[in-house]
Amino acid sequence: MTAQFHHDSSRSSKISGTQTNDLFTLSATQAISRLKSQRITSEELVMSALDRSDKLRHLNLFTTLDPDKALGAAREIDHRRASGEDVGPLAGLPLIIKDNIDSASLPTTAGSKAFEGWQPKEDAPVLASLLKTGGVMLGKANMHEMAFGVTSNNPVYGPVRNPYDTTMISGGSSGGTAAAIAARVVAGGLGTDTGGSCRIPAALCGCVGLRPTIGRYSSAGVIPLTWTRDTPGPLARTVDDLILLDSVCAKRPADVPVLSLSGVRVAIPSSFYDDLDSELAQVVEDALMELRRAGLVMVDVDVTGLKSTGADFRGYEGPRALSSYLFEHGSRMSVIELVEKVAGPVERERLAAQLETGPSDVGVFIESLVVDRPAHLAAVADYFKDNNVSAMIIPTTALPARPIGNDDMVELNGRQAPTFSTYTRNTAFGSGLGLPCLSVPAGLTPSGLPVGMEFVGPAEGDGVVLALGREFEKIVGPLPPPSI
């Protein structure tokens, strides 16, 4: 299957008279400032994004791209703004949306033949919020098939390529969203995160990605993997852009304090720093040194007793969550039929294995959910309180991007290691406990690949991790753009 591109044959002539050459360099907040002051129009901004996407087709960023729809939405916003209407805080900003998030105007495929031709009747609530406040959906992002992996090496639409080195993976499963932002096609967009699917591609592609506290965003209308871990999450070029997107997705702004890092206490759990790729480790150490110079107080308080407390219910929840989604959408397809259509053999086998869970697992699931999980959450809350730390700071991943095709095993410090568990090693902790987690670029390796640092906060501490990430971003500075 190839990506669906719907062309406007007259678009090139319309663009020729418009100065759009530098618009792709703007962050979301910069673009919105220019839109509000009418120094640019939404049509110009969307045209610039479409031109950029044409140039970078080899990155395989989209599953569906419809210029007519995007330009039509942009022109409507420009007309409303010119008429003096209140068009909303995101009005005119082009965004890319991961293709497992329901959209009424474009197909939703989860990057899989299993959902080929799938057309939801309404937008997922999180997407509806972005569109209601003026965001323009440029297209649907390529991703790891069924969101069930970390490489975004998609067997249906082709691999999403890393803008910093097109032979490398973008990370996953929100690879298309992260790569499009890093490549300066758009300034922001939506992904989803179950075990690290916003943060891993953000780290590997050099942008910022947020996993909000579980329940902060509605997960309705998202093709699911698990009820207890799935959440939409925004990705963007800067933390300020994320703060803006988060306020819309959550329908309430996070309390993001203005703070100085001097005297702030954070945990640096040593077990998350074990066995890091040597090039990545040097970037991490340099970033920590800059934070120490800024006055951040780092406390090595490990989480050995907590790392296994995030119970994983995916084996039980997966088939049931998918079945509920299909039923709610009026589909006659069974989960068994859906799994048989999955193209990737590894993804198909993992999903098929989940079908083997039976009634005997119900009691274990209920006990884990109503007894063990609350105890684990209380233990983590005590960890932050007893050690008087605002957050944990850890490397988002143990290694930077690796070559496309290393889906099963990946090289780490001279040996082969399982790709999935190696990339999710540090992100799984926050996912299992539903904590707010933010990945921010820390620098480039000597090989020119991005490295991310992750801020993990207590439950409902979204504002704190965003504030810390914003200060970190100021200290380490922005990454140079990819040379594509």
CA–CA dist 21, 283 (Å, integer): 33
386, two tokens = 């007893």
Residue 293 exposed, middle or buried by CB count within 10 Å (0-12, 13-18, 19+): exposed
Q: Which entry of 42, 48, 53, 98 is annotated as an active-site residue?
A: 98
Instruction: Judge if the upstream peptide bond of residue 173 is cis by omega within 30 degrees of 0.
Output: yes
Strands 450-456 and 391-395: antiparallel
Four-CA torsion 71, 73, 74, 75, nearest 10 degrees: 90
Beta strands in 129-212 (DSSP E): 136-141, 153-154, 158-159, 161-162, 165-169, 188-193, 208-211
Catalytic (active site) residue 197:
yes
The answer to whether 173 is a known catalytic residue is: yes
Identified catalytic residue from 103, 197, 219, 390 = 197
Token readout for 483 is 């040379």
d(CA 339, CA 345) in angstroms, rounded, equals 10
Active-site hit among 112, 170, 173, 431: 173
- As annotated, the active-site residues are 98, 173, 197
